[in-house]
Amino acid sequence: MELKDAVRQKYGEAALRVNTGGSSCCGAAPGAIGCVDPITSNLYDSGQASQLPQEAVLASLGCGNPTALAAINAGETVLDLGSGGGIDVLLSAKRVGPAGKAYGLDMTDEMLALARENQRKSGIDNVEFLKGEIESIPLPDNSVDVIISNCVINLSGDKDTVLREAFRVLKPGGRFAVSDVVVRGDVPSEVRRSMELWVGCIAGALRDYDYAAKLAKAGFDSIDIAPTRVYSVDDARQFLSGEGIDADAIAPQIQDKFISAFIRAVKPAVKPSAKDCCGPACCS
């Protein structure tokens, strides 16, 4: 619970900073007005940003842009795990249109209040923000077409449960399409030990092959992890410096090892059983 409480506190404060005009960063350094975070900055192009109230765009704390990369079709149901200020939920709601629905799930009251205010300002109706934890998703089995998430699963201390829950709520054939910070290879132990770096999306990042293995263990197939940003030592200096870690001293261990990635997987479609077959060819 200590970790979850720290995450809730950090993002509750971040939500309040957005409300008072300051910006916030996904990275470990405390958000400051005008902070430029190599992870969180410039994720949405003007075409997407102009569709939403400015407050929703300013509230973005992700590390990618899953709505730009995921296949999302009219009439579908989308769920955003850790929806924060709601930017990806609102963009998804526009994509699925009035016949579809976009859910946002978040455990932090201040973020939910911010997201609901952003929804009100945007005038988008086919949206519902749910309070809850991604380790116990408050939706029925087989009810969602697409799960998106933006820099949240790396914050969880129980990623196996999160992926099992994602699998449970997806419909057969449903898509997992998530942005996350991921590590290629090993990370220095002083980085892994830092709580502040964990709540800043860094220390809890999975190795790419561990992420793929956990997705497979949960039942997913068609797993793919593609880099969207690769962080240099200069970038890493920014997100490590808040914790007093000397990036130059560990440069060879961090150069190009932290990446933002787009992670995709599919819940296998159910094959018809022999008794459902209508003829010799239909189950082939």
Interaction of residue 118 with ligand SAM, rule CB under 6 A:
no
Nearest to 192 by CA among 259, 248, 251, 245: 245
Interaction of residue 37 with ligand SAM, rule CB under 6 A:
no
Burial class (CB in 10 A: 0-12, 13-18, 19+), 231: buried
Nearer to ligand SAM (CB atom), residue 79 or residue 170: 79
Nearer to ligand SAM (CB atom), residue 60 or residue 194: 60
Tokens of 231: 């962080």
Interaction of residue 91 with ligand SAM, rule CB under 6 A:
no
Interaction of residue 111 with ligand SAM, rule CB under 6 A:
yes
**Candidates 54-62, 92-100, 206-214, 221-229 — which segment interacts with ligand SAM by CB under 6 A?**
54-62
**Candidates 55-63, 94-102, 184-192, 202-210 — which segment interacts with ligand SAM by CB under 6 A?**
55-63
The interface mask with ligand SAM, positions 191-230, x = CB under 6 A, is ----------x-----------------------------
Of all residues in the shown chain, the one whose CB is closest to ligand SAM is 84
| Minimum gap (Å) between residue 278 Cβ and ligand SAM | 44
Interaction of residue 147 with ligand SAM, rule CB under 6 A:
no
Q: Which of 18, 26, 240, 261 binds ligand SAM (CB under 6 A)?
A: 26
Interaction of residue 7 with ligand SAM, rule CB under 6 A:
yes
Enumerate binding residues for ligand SAM (CB under 6 A).
Answer: 7, 11, 26, 60-62, 82-85, 87-88, 106-108, 111, 133-135, 150-152, 155-156, 201
